[in-house]
Structure 1
Amino acid sequence: MARVLFIEPDRLLGANAKQILKHAGHEVDWHVDPQAAMNSADTAHPQIIVLDLLLAGRSGVEFLYEFRSYPEWAQLPVIIYSNIRPEDFNDSGVGFKHLGIAAYFYKPTTSISELSKAIGQILQLARA
């Protein structure tokens, strides 16, 4: 279905999510380290990014700003999957639209299966 670049620092969650997303038909390039994810994007050719905002060494927002600075990745759909509530993120002065975020999911209330469905829906809309 989709080539997913998945940046998740929690190793247990990342491994489980990778397995569930692969079972749903997605190719998953999962990284704990945001720099490794950035480096692999050229070879993995993702169609969508799933990004946690709480990363080791830098924030997900910093990662996204750098990622968006490359013309070939400027329009790639991004899903935020984080323990930061969406209303807290929006109140921080960084808006969803400014960063080109296609969807935002709060981990405690969103299953990986729901995330998988959203990936398919967002890519379907992007192709239309």
Structure 2
Amino acid sequence: MNPTDPHQPSEGVLALAAKLFDLARQGNTEVLTAYLQAGAPADLTNEKGDSLIMLAAYHGHVDTVRALLAHGADPNRVNDRGQSPLAGAVFKGSNDVVQALLDAGANPQLGSPSAVETARMFGRSGLMN
């Protein structure tokens, strides 16, 4: 990181972003929601392209997923590997997260592998019905 580059985020901004990703990963909905209400972007992504909703979905935190969706998070935002939050939730077998994402308009055909393909690969086809 070059501290004289105006396009590089400051250490404080990077620390806050890391905290937000941890909150999503841990399912700390209350604190994350406070940051979202204060203006933190619901579609913030890390260096791998994982969004807050991707991390919350993958770790099975349905309340956090719903809070992010309520603040405008995109349920169809794929990471740099082409993976969708829905496919992550299917992979982990999180029925309630899958349903919350589908209810919010998540596309089961999106990504590589898609949620439908992931369900087929891991014998979780019931999650896509």
TM interval, short-chain normalised: 0.3 to 0.5
Larger radius of gyration: 2
Greater per-residue strand proportion = 1
Higher RCO structure, 1 or 2 (CA under 8 Å, sep 6+): 1
TM-score (norm 2): 0.34
TM-score (norm 1): 0.34
